[in-house]
Copies of this chain bind each other. A is one copy, B any other.
Amino acid sequence: MWIQKRITIRVKARGFHLITKEILDQLPEIREVEIGMLNLFIQHTSASLTINENADPTVRIDLETQINRMIPEGSEHYLHNIEGDDDMPAHIKASIFGNNLNIPIDAGKLATGTWQGIYLGEHRDHGTQRVIVATLQGLDKSV
């Protein structure tokens, strides 16, 4: 069983956002999978996907604060800055966090831990709608 869909994520402010529900709402097919794998692949180079704590929202704030300290804006050493000071740092963050996740599926649900949620990292000041290619494969429950 293979299913592939484009998922559109509503425009987000710069920073990290919990998007587990926004993803699952667009993928009811997961419920039909007995054992399988969900691949999420964001088609952009200045946004990222990662997994982190789904409870306390300060985790998202601190993650943004710390990565900004590690990859400061406005450094005079950047050559790629046509679109502004947030341009090159956004590309670097995209590669550090990564653009793809592989999440196992067990009995119709993501096999994530109790505290895990899917984060979108929006690394531009004025990000646009982001598209994620969701590819689902596995054994169908009905078989």
Contacts and interface: CB of A to CB of B under 8 A. Distances in A.
A62 B72 CA distance: 13
B119 A131 contact: no
A80 B62 contact: yes
B106 A133 contact: yes
A98 B36 CA distance: 20
Contacts of A61: 79-80
Contact of A97 (B62, B82, B96, B137): B96
Oligomeric state, in number of copies?
3
Given A104-B133, A131-B113, A53 B63 contact: no
Interface of A: 2-4, 35-37, 39, 41-45, 50-53, 56, 58-59, 61-63, 65-67, 69-71, 75, 77-80, 82, 88, 91-92, 94-104, 106, 111-116, 119, 131, 133, 135, 137-139
Given A56-B80, A69-B77, 5 more contacts: A42-B113, A58-B79, A63-B91, A100-B101, A113-B131
